[in-house]
Amino acid sequence: MAEITSLEGVVGTLRTPGQLLALIEQIDLAIYNLLTDPAKVGFRYRLGDREIDRDGYLLWLLDARKTYQTHLSTLPVWEATVCVGHAD
């Protein structure tokens, strides 16, 4: 596939509330594993062209979580909540 050199003509759709919640859950799991596994203390992590330590990776995860949480909170309530039915 040829490399994209312009965003002109690129289209996409916004993430659904379910997708945002799934991303937040994945980030929460990554944070939990990062903090509870003593073997990961000395790891180096690669983010794009940068290499960072565990603390930097934790900050990056927390920032990503905040971004997705903020996006989720901007959705109208009827889009961000689960619909619960009533059985008669």
Per-residue pLDDT, 74: 87
Distance of CA 16 to the CA centre of its chain: 13
Q: Is 64 exposed, middle or buried (0-12, 13-18, 19+ CB in 10 A)?
A: middle
φ and ψ of 26, to 5 deg:
-65, -40
Of 40, 36, 56, the C-alpha closest to 48 is: 56
pLDDT in tens, the chain (88 residues): 778 788 888 888 888 888 999 999 999 999 999 999 888 888 888 888 889 998 999 999 999 999 999 998 887 766 555 555 555 5
Q: What is the pLDDT of residue 79?
A: 58
pLDDT given at position 82: 59
- State pTM to two decimals: 0.70
Cα–Cα distance for residue pair 52/59, rounded to 1 Å: 10
- Where are the extended beta strands (E) located within 1-88? 44-47, 50-53
Residue 26: its pLDDT value, please? 96
